[in-house]
Structures are given as C-alpha cells and as structure tokens.
C-alpha cells in the first residue's frame, strides 16, 4: 500500500507500507515513485530490492530505501 507520511515526522513523502497485521507495519521509502502511484492508501503489488540507503523520518526513525523494479495497481 502507498501511504503519504506528512510532517512533522520529517518524511513528507509517499512511503510503501507492508502490513502483515495492523500492529506490525513496515515502512519503506522508494527511491523513485511514479506520479500516478502517489495516491494515499493505493493498493499495489511491487517487486523491489532493498538498497544500502536509509531515509530519516524524524520521530519514526530511519526507514530502508528500496529500488522499485516493477509496480502495478491492484
């Protein structure tokens, strides 16, 4: 799922969220997200690889940066 994370958490960007359950959400910052996917709560299927980079989200801490290989809307 795509989720917009607004300030003050310092993310101020769209994140890809994997939620195995409501209490265990995993946030990833895509290194590039096409504009037509910048829709809050958009359900997606994505193939990616994790990079060595981290993105600082303020109070949320550092999140891994991912490189999108393939993405599609569900």
- Distance between CA atoms of residues 55 and 16, nearest Å: 13
Count the alpha carbons within 13 Å of 66 in the hemisphere toward its beta carbon: 21
* pLDDT per residue as tens digits for the range 8-64: 666 788 999 988 676 788 889 999 999 999 999 999 999 999 999 999 887 778 999
Give residue 10's pLDDT: 65
């Amino acid at each position: 799922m795509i989720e917009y994370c607004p300030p003050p958490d310092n993310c101020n960007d769209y994140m890809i969220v994997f939620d195995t359950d409501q209490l265990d959400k995993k946030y990833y910052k895509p290194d590039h997200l096409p504009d037509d996917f910048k829709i809050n709560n958009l359900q997606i299927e994505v193939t990616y690889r994790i990079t060595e980079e981290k993105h600082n989200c303020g109070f949320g801490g550092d999140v891994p940066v991912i490189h999108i290989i393939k993405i599609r809307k569900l």
